[in-house]
């Protein structure tokens, strides 16, 4: 089977799986899977750019995804005027003081090369920074803590938040890349793992920024609300023309709206990624990945190219994170878990085929489908196993409750099987 | 008197917790460093192996408790540790046989093994959650304190109390015993020496007739023992929750890398460096400074550099600083 036939066949299979869900379960579930599948595919594209094409081992995907989510809040929520009045300027002042401090420390180190001087500057500066920041934070968080207690956003259309999410993630990636990209591959892995935890810690604790674990709910949407559609007589008429009741029709319309938006983003990014992969730039990146030393000998600036691709890949993850938070309609920092947002994306890329953009997209859809559908399958399996047991026995309850965790097990088994028997993934790089 | 109070408060809130936490990290980091030195990859499944071993110990502890067996003032979990080690050893040896060995035979690149270990991590994680569930479990019993704060105050007449929990005492004593045994094994026995030889120079070791399969098996056995003990001690001292154990991966790796990957002494040093900085930076120093400084200088604020939720940031920053300025770690590690 040639590569292109294989590609078409596998994508057709995934389409069939999602359509099958629609026919057998419900179209709402099918569209839910499709939407998150689209988001996952974008994330997988980002990781594929870094790992598949450049060979950078980034396990901090969760952090960039969360930064994208933060961008949605910062861009689209209306500003909280009282909070800005209470301490907005002071927070900005503190943040610029903090940034200035870091720049000064780097400059001092380059000029003096004296560790103690830099350490003293940083320690002293840290206290100054906290002295400016703390009162402002206290004042902001005191503003209507039940509903606001944060600065709010800029009140711009929510779709704008997607590129902003990319920019935010790119900025973070630049800082990380500058410090950590010189390191060996598994050091980079640990470093990015740490960064992701820190991003989540910041989101959870800095209530003035995005309400921390109190969550920001009711984010603006790029698509109409179900209730508005149901109250719209022409919509109801069209729905009944299709033989649907207004409630179902409205939920399906909203989800389809998201699907179209996400698909547009995915297609644009995919086309760009394919163009990049087949350009001289892409060939250079793969040459660097395959043999860094000889690429360096050919005069390629390996460090700069690595930084470039790291920033680009992270930006794509940021865009996907912003899309996901828009889809959820809320930012809940407590729900970001590395297994789900970092390692699952890795499973997608490896299973799909690292180094092949279409493979990554395929992996995104397929693994997301399995992630969702393994749970009911596990439930079924457990019901089968426990069928002979007495009702109400502790073991039976325990087994039924633990069915949801079978999906982790399944993902591990899938990853290991693919790595063993098809190490280049379902759609290998040519 | 005030100075004494300051020292006692410092010991109570910083030194003792940090020593206990550092011992736990050191045991975990020793496992990471051994795998890195001998099997030559960074094992991402380490935290979940720890969760698995501890889970077995928790279950056996409950079983022993239901039989009415206890160790008196000591936690029953100590009796259950051998069961945990045995189960973990079986698990990791089976994993090695079924998964890792294939890639070793192929001489796959270390990063492939890291990705493989991510798959193993998913499986262990799922296994632990299916068997015991994702919730917090308590399994500590026996005496809670060696010295409670009240007894200490009555004994010394100081206004600050010094409490040493039994679990903290056990942690330190166990860690010392385990580390002593490990170093005795590595330095004095034939197998231990062959492990060090294999870690130093694989080809030369093979040439001199060392059986690689045996070295790898023994390594996994030692790692299973270390990691189970570390997990149980952490669980007794704090609490057992699979997700927390997964997150311990970061400070454990930081400890191993800061000390110098592949260097056992470095892993211990790294564990304590990470533990002391985490506790020191997230502790509110108001009380200690209030005693130590004259009244006019006593601070009003908490003097807490970072809130405790940022403890990962601390291990991370130390890691980055060490890597930037001393890429092989504080004690010379190896680079594969």
Mind listing the pLDDT tens digit for each residue in B159-174?
888 889 999 999 999 9
pLDDT of residue A182: 76
Any B CB within 8 A of A187 CB: yes
- Among all residues of chain A, which has the CA nearest to that of B110? A186
Instruction: Give me the DSSP letters along B230-287.
Output: HHHHHHHHS-B-HHHHHHTHHHHHHHHHHH-TT-HHHHHHHHHHHHHHHHHHHS-THH
Helices (H) and strands (E) in chain B, counts: 16, 2
- CB–CB contact A412 B111 (8 Å): no
- CB–CB contact B123 A115 (8 Å): no
Residue A17 falls inside a structural domain: no
B119 vs B151 pLDDT, higher one = B119
pLDDT of residue B143: 83
- CB–CB contact B119 A195 (8 Å): no
Tell me the average pLDDT across A325-350: 94
Instruction: Give me the DSSP letters along A37-48.
Output: HHHHHHHHHHHI
Asked if A328 contacts A180 with a C-beta cutoff of 8 angstroms, the reply is no
Residue B5 falls inside a structural domain: no
Of the partner residues A198, A338, A413, the one whose CB lies closest to the CB of residue B313 = A198
Instruction: Tell me the sheet residues that pair with B165.
Output: B145
Any B CB within 8 A of A109 CB: no
Count of domains observed in chain B: 1
Half-sphere exposure of A143 (CA within 13 A, CB side): 24
- CB–CB contact B110 A186 (8 Å): yes
Residue A208 falls inside a structural domain: yes
Residue B324 falls inside a structural domain: no
For residue A210, what are the contacts with CB-CB under 8 A and spacing of at least 6? A70, A73, A74, A150, A203, A216, A331, A333
Give the DSSP H or E segment for B105: helix B101-105
User: Which positions in chain B touch A115 (Cβ < 8 Å)?
Assistant: 325
- CB–CB contact A405 B320 (8 Å): no
Three-state DSSP class for A105? Answer: helix
Number of neighbouring beta carbons within 10 Å of residue A322:
33
- Beta strand A330-331 pairing with A216-217: antiparallel
- CB–CB contact A198 B119 (8 Å): no
Asked if A255 contacts A30 with a C-beta cutoff of 8 angstroms, the reply is no
Burial of B134 per CB tally in 10 Å (0-12, 13-18, 19+): middle
Measure in Å the smallest separation between the Cα of A25 and chain B Cα atoms: 26
- CB–CB contact A193 B309 (8 Å): no
Instruction: Tell me the sheet residues that pair with B132.
Output: none
Any B CB within 8 A of A305 CB: no
Give the DSSP H or E segment for B146: strand B145-147
User: Which positions in chain B touch A338 (Cβ < 8 Å)?
Assistant: 246
Residue A133 falls inside a structural domain: no
- CB–CB contact A416 B116 (8 Å): yes
Closest by CA to A179, choosing from A314, A303, A299, A62, is A303
pLDDT of residue A1: 64
Tell me the average pLDDT across A195-223: 91
Span B212-239, pLDDT tens digits: 999 999 999 999 999 999 999 999 998 8
User: Which positions in chain A touch B130 (Cβ < 8 Å)?
Assistant: 402, 405-406, 409
Span B39-87, pLDDT tens digits: 989 999 999 999 999 999 999 999 999 998 888 888 999 999 999 999 9
- CB–CB contact B320 A420 (8 Å): no
CA A73 to chain centre: 15
Count of domains observed in chain A: 1
Task: Spell out a b/e string for A388-422, using b for 16 or more CB atoms within 10 Å of the CB, else e.
Answer: eeeeeeeebeebbebbbbbbbbbbbebbbebbeee
- Among all residues of chain B, which has the CA nearest to that of A194? B316
Of the partner residues B111, B313, B327, the one whose CB lies closest to the CB of residue A201 = B313
Measure in Å the smallest separation between the Cα of B140 and chain A Cα atoms: 23
Span A220-266, pLDDT tens digits: 999 999 888 888 888 888 888 888 888 889 999 999 999 999 999 99
Measure in Å the smallest separation between the Cα of A260 and chain B Cα atoms: 33
Q: Residue B73 corresponds to which tokens in the numbers above?
A: 């003032």
Instruction: Give me the DSSP letters along B182-243.
Output: HHHHHHHSHHHHHHHHHHH-HHHHHHTT--HHHHHHHHHHHHHHHHHHHHHHHHHHS-B-HH
CA pair distance B246, B225, nearest whole angstrom: 18
Q: Residue B70 corresponds to which tokens in the numbers above?
A: 């206890």
- % pLDDT > 90, chain B: 60
pLDDT of residue B221: 96
Let me know the angle formed at the C-alpha of A382 by A394 and B56, rounded to the nearest 5 degrees: 55
Measure in Å the smallest separation between the Cα of A275 and chain B Cα atoms: 28
- Among all residues of chain A, which has the CA nearest to that of B112? A419
Most A CBs within 10 Å, among B51, B113, B130, to test the A interface: B130
Any B CB within 8 A of A428 CB: no
Q: What are phi and psi of B132, to 5 degrees?
A: -115, -15
- Among all residues of chain B, which has the CA nearest to that of A415? B119
Number of neighbouring beta carbons within 10 Å of residue B177:
11
Residue A160 falls inside a structural domain: yes
Residues in chain B: 336
> What is the extent of the structural domain holding A74?
39-79+152-337
User: Which positions in chain A touch B124 (Cβ < 8 Å)?
Assistant: 412
Instruction: Tell me the sheet residues that pair with B164.
Output: B147
> What is the extent of the structural domain holding B112?
19-245
Span A120-138, pLDDT tens digits: 998 899 989 988 998 898 8
The CA–CA distances, whole Å, from A272 to A216, A278, A312 equal: 33, 10, 11
Q: What are phi and psi of B146, to 5 degrees?
A: -80, -50
Instruction: Tell me the sheet residues that pair with A79.
Output: A152
pLDDT of residue A191: 86
Residue A386 falls inside a structural domain: no
Q: Residue A184 corresponds to which tokens in the numbers above?
A: 């060996």
């Amino acid at each position: 089977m040639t590569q292109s036939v294989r590609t078409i066949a596998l994508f057709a299979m995934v389409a069939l799986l999602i359509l099958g869900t629609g026919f057998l379960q419900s179209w709402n579930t099918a569209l839910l899977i499709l939407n998150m599948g689209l988001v996952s595919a974008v994330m997988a594209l980002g990781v594929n750019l870094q790992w598949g094409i450049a060979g950078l081992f980034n396990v901090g995907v969760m952090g960039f995804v969360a930064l994208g989510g933060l961008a949605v809040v910062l861009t689209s929520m209306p500003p909280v005027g009282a909070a800005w009045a209470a301490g907005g300027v002071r927070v900005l002042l503190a943040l610029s003081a903090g940034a200035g401090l870091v720049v000064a420390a780097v400059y001092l180190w380059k000029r003096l090369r004296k560790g103690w001087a830099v350490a003293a500057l940083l320690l002293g500066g840290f206290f100054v920074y906290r002295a400016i920041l703390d009162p402002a934070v206290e004042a902001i968080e005191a503003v209507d803590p039940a509903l606001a207690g944060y600065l709010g956003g800029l009140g711009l259309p929510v779709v704008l938040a997607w590129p902003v999410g990319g920019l935010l993630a790119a900025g973070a990636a630049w800082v990380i890349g500058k410090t950590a990209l010189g390191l060996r591959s598994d050091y980079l892995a640990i470093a990015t793992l740490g960064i992701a935890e820190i991003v989540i810690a910041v989101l959870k604790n800095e209530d003035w920024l995005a309400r921390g674990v109190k969550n920001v709910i009711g984010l603006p949407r790029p698509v109409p609300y179900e209730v508005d559609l149901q109250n719209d007589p022409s919509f109801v008429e069209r729905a009944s023309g299709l033989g649907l009741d207004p409630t179902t029709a409205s939920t399906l319309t909203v989800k389809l709206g998201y699907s179209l938006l996400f698909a547009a983003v995915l297609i644009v990014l995919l086309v760009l990624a394919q163009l990049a992969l087949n350009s001289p730039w892409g060939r250079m990146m793969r040459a660097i990945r395959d043999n860094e030393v000889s690429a360096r000998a050919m005069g390629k600036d390996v460090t700069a190219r690595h930084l470039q691709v790291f920033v680009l890949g992270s930006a794509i993850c940021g865009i996907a994170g912003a899309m996901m938070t828009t889809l959820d309609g809320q930012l809940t920092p407590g729900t970001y878990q590395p297994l789900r947002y970092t390692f699952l994306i890795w499973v997608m890329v490896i299973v799909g085929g690292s180094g092949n953009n279409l493979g990554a997209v395929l992996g995104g859809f397929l693994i997301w489908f399995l992630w969702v559908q393994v749970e009911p399958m596990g439930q079924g399996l457990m019901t089968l196993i426990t069928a002979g047991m007495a009702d109400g026995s502790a073991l039976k309850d325990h087994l039924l409750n633990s069915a949801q965790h079978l999906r982790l097990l399944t993902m591990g088994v899938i990853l290991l099987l693919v790595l063993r028997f098809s190490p280049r993934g379902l759609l290998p790089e040519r | 008197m005030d100075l004494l109070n300051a020292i006692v408060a410092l010991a109570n809130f910083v030194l003792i917790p940090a020593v206990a936490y550092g011992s736990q990290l050191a045991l975990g980091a020793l496992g990471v460093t051994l795998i890195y030195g001998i099997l030559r990859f960074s094992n991402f499944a380490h935290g979940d192996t720890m969760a698995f071993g501890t889970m077995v110990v928790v279950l056996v502890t409950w079983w022993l408790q239901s039989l009415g067996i206890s160790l008196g003032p000591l936690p029953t979990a100590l009796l259950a540790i051998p069961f945990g080690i045995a189960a973990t050893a079986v698990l990791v040896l089976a994993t090695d046989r079924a998964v890792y060995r294939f890639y070793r035979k192929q001489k796959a690149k270390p990063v492939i093994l890291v990705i493989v270990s991510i798959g193993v991590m998913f499986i262990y994680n799922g296994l632990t959650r299916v068997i015991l569930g994702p919730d917090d479990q308590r399994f500590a019993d026996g005496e809670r304190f060696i010295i409670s704060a009240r007894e200490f105050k009555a004994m010394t007449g100081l206004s600050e109390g010094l409490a040493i929990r039994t679990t903290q005492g056990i942690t330190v004593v166990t860690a010392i015993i385990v580390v002593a045994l490990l170093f005795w094994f590595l330095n004095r026995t034939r197998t231990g020496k062959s492990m060090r030889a294999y870690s130093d120079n694989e080809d030369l070791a093979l040439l001199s007739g060392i059986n690689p399969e045996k070295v790898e098996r023994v390594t996994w056995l030692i790692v299973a023992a270390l990691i189970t003990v570390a997990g149980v001690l952490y669980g007794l001292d704090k609490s057992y929750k699979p997700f927390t154990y997964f997150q311990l991966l970061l400070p454990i790796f930081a400890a191993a890398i800061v000390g110098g990957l592949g260097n056992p002494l470095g892993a211990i040093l790294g564990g304590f460096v990470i533990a002391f900085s985490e506790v020191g930076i997230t502790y509110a120093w108001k009380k200690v400074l209030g005693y130590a400084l004259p009244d006019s200088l006593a601070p009003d604020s908490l003097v807490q550099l970072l809130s405790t939720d940022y403890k990962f940031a601390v291990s991370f920053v130390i890691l980055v600083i060490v890597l930037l300025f001393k890429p092989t770690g504080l004690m010379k590690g190896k680079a594969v």
